[in-house]
Chains A and B, each alone.
Chain A
C-alpha cells in the first residue's frame, strides 16, 4: 500500500471549509445564545481542522487553529466570557483560515496574514483569567515556574483500535512526544499480533504499557493522545511523586534535544504545535502545486444510495425477465414483452430521478453564508436587521446552487443597502426600528422558488420610470405596467442609488443578477409596495442536467429546443413576414416585429430536396427577446440529457450543448439568446457595410 497523502487533500479541504461554515454559523448565534453546546460545536470544528492540517503538515493552519482552540477552551470552561469582541476575533479568524486554506489549495504560499491575529490571540490569552491554559508561547516558562513538586511517574496503558495506523496516527510519534516530557519506557504487548499469514499489515494489533518518569501533568499526556482519544483505550495512572529542581532542568533539556532530533528527521508532526514561530511552508505548497486538478465531490445521504441500489437491482430483474421472453419468443408472449418493456421504462425513469436526486443539495448551503454578511453589513450601515430563513432544506441541483450564490448575495446586500431604512427613518415611518429580511425557498412544479423579501421602503416606480427615461432606456411618455417598470432596475447600467456606496449601487449588479439567473434557465420577478417593502422572486429549474426538449427538424438534421422557450409555432404559409433594414426578414407577432432566423442558412445545412417549400416558424423567447426560427418540421417532445459541447468540442454561439437521441444520433441543443445575438450581430454588420 502506497500512501500518497495528497490524495486526501481534497477531502480535507472540503471538510475544513464545511467546518469553517459551521464555526461561522455557530459564532453568529453565540452572542444571543452562548450555550455550552454551541461553543463545543465550534471547538470541535476547530479541532478537526487542526488535526487534519497537522496530519498534512500545513503547519501554519495547525498553529493558528491551536491558539483559537485554546481561547475556545477557556470559553467552554467558563473561564472567559462570551463577548462581542471575542466573537468578532473568532469570526475574523474564520475568514483568515478560509483564506489560508484557499491559498494552500491553490498551491500558493500561506503568507503571513494570520500572524497579527495569532499575536492578538496570544496577547488576549496571556491577559486572560485562565492560568491553566496551555498557551503555547509560554509553555516552557510555565514548566520551569511550576517545577516544584510536580514530578510524577505515570503508567499509561495504550490500546489503539486496529485501524489507527490507517488514519495516519502513529504511536512512534506519540511516544516520541511523551519522551519530550521525561524518561519513557515502553513495553509492547504483541500477544494479539496474528500469525504472519493472517496479518493485515496496515492494521495495528499491538498495545503498549508505558512508564513515563517526568514533570508532566495528566492533561499534557492526554493531549499527546488527543487525536486518537476516540480510537483507543487509554488509561493514565500516577505511580508516584517525586520532587526537585534538578529533574525539572533535565526535562527541559530533554525536550530541547528531542525537538532538534525531530527537526532533523523531518517526521510529519501531528501535534507538535508548540513552536509558534511561523515557518515558511515550502513542503505543503510544493505538494499542493503537484496535486492533480481537484475534482469536486458531494456528500450523498446513504438513503439516496440505497434507493439507487434497490432500483438497479429491480432493473436487473426486469432485464433478465425480458431476456428470457426474448429467447424463445413467439407471439403468445407479446403481452409479457410489452409489460416488461413498460416496467423497464418506469424503472429507468425512477433510476434517472434517483440519480438526479444525488446531485441535489439543500439550499441551506447557500443561505448559511448570508447571516454573517447580514450581521457585518447591518453594523457597517448602522441598521438593525433581523434575518429570517425559511425552507433551507429545500433541495436543488449542485450546479444551480453554486451559481445562485452570488446573485443571491447581491440581492440580500441590495435589500440591506437600499431596501431596509435606517433606524431613524423607520421610526419616522412608524415602523419598528429593526427591519426584517426574509429568505424563503420552496418547490413549485418543476422549479425551485427563492424569495427575498424586506419590509423596507419599497421601490418607487415613478423614480424608476424617470431614471429610465433619463438614461434613454425607454421613450418618454410610454405606458408601462408597474411590474415592467420595476424590472427596469435590472437593465444594464441602471442604478438609482443617490450615493454610490461600497455595498451596492455601483450601477452594475442587478443586471448581472438577472443575466446569471437567466443563464441558469430561471427568471426574477420584482414586486414592491411603497413604504411596505420589496420581494424578489427567483424561479429556477431544479436541475441543469436534464432538459425538457422539443425536437425539430431542419433539412436532415434534428435539433433540440428547450420546451420552456417555445411560445407558439405557425405554418410559414400563414405567417405574415416582411423585410426591414439590413434585409432582415421579420415576422409580425401581435404588434411586434421579431427577426426570423432560417436555421438552414444559419447552420449551412443542405436543403432537403424532397421537402416541400413550406415550413414552420417556431416563435421562441430567451431573456425577454423573441425570435422566430424557420424550421422544416416539429418532431416529438422528450427529456434530453445535456452534454457539454465545450468540454468535448468547443463553445459555439447559438448552441448550448448536445445530447444523444434515442437512435444514437447526436443532436445540438439550441441556445435562443445566442442565436438572437448572432442574428443581430449579422444584421448590424450588414448595415455597417
Chain B
C-alpha cells in the first residue's frame, strides 16, 4: 500500500492558525494513511504550532503509520531547535 496523504501547513504554524490546522489534521487522520507534512512555505512558527504538530506526529505514529516532513522551511527548523523539539518532531 503506497498510498499516502499530504497535509500542507501553509505559511503559518502558529497560534493564530492552530485551530484551523487541527481540523485539517483531523481530516487527514480520518484517511488512515501515512502522512507527509508539506512545510516548505512555513514563515511563522511558534510553541502552539509545534506542540500541535508534535501531537499529530504522535497520533499518526500511534495509528501505525509513517509521517515525514517535506522540505521543512528554515524558520520551522530553527524554531523547533530553539524550543528543543527537533528530535521529537523528527526535524533533525
Contacts and interface: CB of A to CB of B under 8 A. Distances in A.
B85 interface: yes
A202 B82 contact: no
B51 A1 contact: no
B51 A186 contact: no
A1 B18 contact: yes
A206 interface: yes
A201 B88 contact: no
Contact of B19 (A1, A171, A208): A1
A185 interface: yes
A188 B15 contact: no
Given A170-B47, A204-B48, A165 B84 contact: no
Interface in A120-164: none
A620 B17 CA distance: 63
A204 B17 CA distance: 15
Contacts of A202: 15, 18-19, 48
Nearest to A197: B59
A176 B79 CA distance: 9
Interface in B43-77: 45-48, 51-52, 54-56, 58-59, 75
A497 interface: no
Contacts of A689: none
B84 A208 contact: yes
Contacts of A197: 59
Contacts of A208: 83-84
Q: Is the interface of B mostly helix, strand, loop or mixed?
A: helix
B58 to A, nearest CB: 7
Contacts of A205: 51
A199 B55 contact: yes
A171 B47 contact: yes
B31 to A, nearest CB: 15
Given A171-B83, A187-B84, A206-B51, A201 B29 contact: no
Determine which residue in A186, A199, A208 has the highest number of CB atoms from chain B within 10 A of its CB, and name it. Answer: A199
A334 interface: no
Nearest to A196: B59
A392 B82 CA distance: 52
Interface in A199-214: 199, 201-202, 204-206, 208, 210
A267 to B, nearest CB: 9
B52 A199 contact: yes
A175 B82 contact: yes
Contacts of B41: none
B91 interface: no
Contact of B82 (A2, A179, A206): A179
Most chain A CB inside 10 Å of its own CB: which residue of B17, B19, B46, B51? B51
Interface string A256-283: 0000000001000000000000000000
B51 A204 contact: yes
A610 B15 CA distance: 72
Interface string B1-44: 00000000000000111110110010001000000000000000
A201 B56 contact: no
Contacts of A194: 55
A499 interface: no
A219 interface: no
A435 to B, nearest CB: 58
Contact of A3 (B15, B45, B85): B15
Nearest to B52: A201
Contacts of A184: 82
A660 interface: no
A172 B82 contact: yes
A376 B34 CA distance: 73
Contact of A185 (B18, B59, B84): B84
B54 A190 contact: yes
A473 interface: no
Contacts of B22: 199, 201
Nearest 3 pairs between A and B by C-beta?
A186-B84, A201-B18, A196-B59
Interface of A: 1-3, 165-166, 170-172, 175-176, 179, 184-188, 190, 193-197, 199, 201-202, 204-206, 208, 210, 265
30 contacts: A1-B18, A1-B19, A2-B19, A165-B15, A170-B46, A170-B47, A172-B47, A172-B79, A186-B81, A186-B82, A186-B83, A190-B51, A190-B54, A193-B58, A194-B55, A195-B59, A196-B25, A196-B29, A196-B55, A199-B55, A201-B21, A201-B22, A201-B48, A201-B51, A201-B52, A202-B19, A204-B51, A205-B51, A206-B51, A265-B75
